[in-house]
Structure 1
Amino acid sequence: MSRDEIIDITNTFLIEEFEVEYEVIQPDADLKTSLDLDSLDYVDLVVLIESNFGIKLESKDFTDIRTFNDLYDLIGGKLHAIA
């Protein structure tokens, strides 16, 4: 799966599930602030990623996630690891 496909799929479910405008999702924007995430929202985010991409995530995977680019990189890395 290409990076553009990862970004498109991710942005689509973020917009739908977290009810944010497309313009809010910028590659270098802070993920937590932009989506107004609390700890329960992170659980939802993990479930969405796992169900949309068929990958398994652990809490430690999110320790270095700050921006949307970080999130795309995480997903891409997990997908490439299982390919």
Structure 2
Amino acid sequence: MTDVEILEMTNKVLAEEFELSLDQMKPEASFREDLELDSLDAVDMVVVLEQTFKIKIKKDEAFKNIRTLGDLHAFILEKKQEMAG
């Protein structure tokens, strides 16, 4: 899976899970302010992303610092590189 495919898949699964439009899925979109997602949604996000990409997120401290969709994209790409390497 290419980086672009990973980003597109991330946007798609989050849009479906949280009933968002793909138009809202911009890298600068803040989860709290722009997408109106809260800490409970973050738990659901972890589950969906772990299932989609077969990665472990739960205990990763870096996940706690994610504030925007772009932050999440970078995090997922890094996790996929770690698993590939």
How high is the TM-score relative to the length of structure 2? 0.87
**Larger relative contact order, structure 1 or 2 (CA cutoff 8 Å, min sep 6):** 1
Deviation of 1:9 after TM superposition, in Å, equals 0.6
1:33 Cα deviation after fit: 2.3
Instruction: Map residues 59-74 of structure 1 onto 2, 5 A cutoff.
Output: 60-74=61-75
Q: Does 1:26 align with 2:12?
A: no
Count of residue correspondences: 83
Q: Which has the larger helix fraction? A: 1
Give the aligned partner of residue 40 of structure 1: 40
- Secondary structure (helix, strand or coil) at the match of 1:34 reads coil
Q: CA RMSD in A?
A: 1.4
Does the 8 A contact of 2:29 with 2:35 survive in 1?
no
Cα shift at 1:81 = 0.4
| Counterpart contact for 1:6–1:76, Cα < 8 Å | yes
Q: Offset at 1:31?
A: 2.2
Shifted more, 56-65 versus 39-48: the winner is 56-65
- Give the drift of 1:59: 5.2
Q: What is the alpha-carbon distance in structure 2 between the residues aligned to residue 64 and residue 22 of structure 1?
A: 23
Verify the 8 A CA contact 1:30 1:67 in the aligned structure 2: yes
What is the percent sequence identity of the aligned residues?
Answer: 42
